[in-house]
Chains A and B, each alone.
Chain A
Amino acid sequence: MANERDIQRPRGAVRQEAKATAAAATAPRGAARHQVTLKAKSQSWWRHNLLTAKEALSRLLQTPLPTLMTLAVLAIALTLPGIMYLALKNINALSQQWQGGPRVSLYLQASLPDDEAQRFSQELLLRQDLQAVELISKAQGLYDFKKASGLGDIFDYIQGNPLPAVVVLQPVDQTAEAMTRLQEEFSALPEVAEVVLDIEWVKRLAAFVEVANRIVVVLGGLLALAVLLVVGNTIRLIIENRRDEILVAKLVGATDAWIRRPFLYTGFWFGVLGGLMAVLLIGFSLVLITEPVNQLIGLYQSGFVLQGLSPDEVVILLASGLLLGLMGARLAVGQHLQEIEPR
């Protein structure tokens, strides 16, 4: 359609496409027999796009089984990165629930009486380099353990409470060196049996999440490529099937854009419908894993709720499907339509 301006040079009494005015439409037919007005042209463009989009869809629905199979491949290729992304999102949300930064746990001597432990933790409160100090007494520890493990009954058979009191510290300076210094310092105290840093665990979780992030990106890229190729190959076959039509259309003056359009819309529908199917598949997968995940969460006494796709993410998934479909179609069309020239 962009070419009309180029051929507005005079050429005798030939057809004058875009120069025509609205008045020409009402002018006698004989004189204005080849004229198509600008307004009619733009209307025609929109009408043709709408018509082509509808026709592309109905053509896909005319062959439901092959279409469904292609869509299933596309949907699965889009679902896999979607699910991996969701898994990461949930792991991130879960790790947020361990509020705050790394902590230091001081396991006190089991023989230390409760009031001694109390006095010890109050002394720590005075220190400037600690943000928070929390004492978990022997009794509290026992209570928590019973509740969390479900093994509480065991203690009915054991004399007394074997658990030590624990003081959980949150240092002001949370760098690895500062934490290590604190560990050395507290290890030397007679009340403390053992010092445990959870900094390693936090570091490892962060590293794990980073690796998983990267894997999602790489796999997502590969699967996007798969979508591109599946759409491209399917469109190539469709082009081959409609070779006669393309030849005739070129002979009666169809522009490349006009010929490309139905195939681009086919790619568009593959992308959109594949994306929709992927959203449904992800939703279905979530339903399947919610039950066991909730049981697992229940064991950890957490109020965590499994997160699904947000509306934004649904839109992004559909948009990527659409874009990949269009791009796949554009690739196939660019490559194969040039090969079909009337001879």
Chain B
Amino acid sequence: MIEFSHVSKRYPTGHDALRDVNFSLGRGELAFLTGHSGAGKSTLLRLIMLMERPSSGTIQVAGQTLTQLKSAEIPFHRRRIGVVFQNHQLLFDRSVFDNIALPLHISGYHLDDIGKRVRAALDKVGLLSKEKLNPVTLSTGEQQRIGIARAIVNRPQLILADEPTGNLDPELSAEIMRLFMEFNHHGTTVLIASHDLALINQMDCRVLTLNQGRMTQHG
């Protein structure tokens, strides 16, 4: 599903965020991406999302070489990926329902279909009763689950999560992780960037470790 070969990313400031990174993540796999802050976890995820382009090397996602994608094709690439952010990136000017429906509106789903899919996604994260609320009224854990619901509503082949448990207590974190495991059981490939080693060790999953931009552990 994801394949990095000799990928380096150097920022214009001269900072090397990634150096010669090689790894591959198979279809239906779940892996954690760890490393100290600034090790390049976020950069790696941003390269997969095409929020940035690598300085050298090639990246393949779902059989597609990203370096060949034109800017105009980036939106369609992103629709295949569900992203969960640490700061959840919810919009507080609209209801929970409308937040989750946004990717579906963008992909051009029919309104009836949108309703069904949004409720299915809300049901999966256990927040079906909150669809009409404004996300600002929800707890941090609930907001994060809404963010996850938005990431999966499109039924993506790949879920990327950047520190999804960053602001949560251990109990809520474990709950969020269980959600990701469940999606993975249904065949979705999942890559979770996290520095919560205690939690990762509990999970017994493949771990990719970045250290100063180099991948020191492939799992």
Interface residues of A (CB under 8 A from B): 2-4, 6-7, 11-15, 17, 33-34, 36, 40-41, 43-45, 47-48, 244-245, 247-256, 258, 341-343
Contact = CB atoms under 8 A, between A and B. Distances in A.
Given A36-B109, A40-B110, A247 B89 contact: yes
Contacts of B51: 251, 341-343
A255 B106 CA distance: 8
B108 A45 contact: yes
A17 B80 CA distance: 11
A252 B78 contact: yes
A148 B38 CA distance: 94
A2 B72 CA distance: 9
Given A252-B154, A342-B49, 14 more contacts: A11-B64, A14-B63, A14-B64, A14-B157, A15-B79, A15-B157, A17-B76, A43-B110, A44-B110, A244-B89, A252-B102, A253-B77, A253-B103, A256-B72
Given A6-B70, A34-B155, A245-B93, A253 B62 contact: no
B75 A254 contact: yes
B72 A40 contact: no
Nearest to B71: A256
Residue from A6, A41, A45, A251 having most chain B Cβ neighbours under 10 A: A251
Given A244-B91, A247-B89, A341-B51, A255 B62 contact: no
B111 interface: yes
Interface of B: 49, 51, 62-64, 69-70, 72-73, 75-80, 83, 89, 91, 93, 102-103, 105-111, 150, 154-155, 157
A248 B102 contact: yes
Given A12-B63, A245-B93, A6 B106 contact: no
29 contacts: A2-B72, A3-B72, A3-B75, A7-B73, A11-B62, A12-B64, A14-B63, A14-B157, A15-B76, A15-B79, A17-B76, A36-B107, A36-B109, A40-B110, A244-B91, A247-B89, A248-B91, A250-B75, A251-B49, A251-B51, A251-B89, A252-B102, A252-B150, A253-B107, A255-B72, A255-B75, A256-B75, A258-B75, A342-B49
A245 to B, nearest CB: 6
Residue from A6, A13, A47, A253 having most chain B Cβ neighbours under 10 A: A253
